[in-house]
Amino acid sequence: MPKVKTNSSAKKRFKLTATGKITYQKAFKRHILTKKSTKRKRGLRHKGLIDSTNRDFVLRLLRLKG
């Protein structure tokens, strides 16, 4: 029986915390930062948390049990 592979793109994008929540890095912080306000860029620094509605889907991509 072959091994089941983890989704490669998902393992690069999501991280599981010690409490079981899933974090991700927010988008729109890579380039063209001059037109974005400081307040907006400051908000993008913090990690995002996956909503509970998408949690099961992301766990399935990462091949983890919920």
Map out the domains of the chain as residue ranges: 8-61
Judge whether residue 1 has pLDDT over 90.
Answer: no
Look up the pTM and report it: 0.83
Q: Do the Cβ atoms of 45 and 29 come closer than 8 Å?
A: yes
Pairwise pLDDT comparison (3 vs 14), residue with the higher score: 14
Beta bridge partners of 60: none
29-58 burial: b if 16+ Cβ within 10 Å, else e = eeeeeeeeeeeeeeebeeeeebeeeeeeeb
Q: Which two tokens stand for residue 39?
A: 């307040």
Quote the mean pLDDT of the chain: 95
Judge whether residue 66 has pLDDT over 90.
Answer: no
Amino acid at residue number 22: I
Per-residue pLDDT, averaged over 20-29, amounts to 96
Find out if CATH 3.40.50.300 is the number for domain 8-61: no
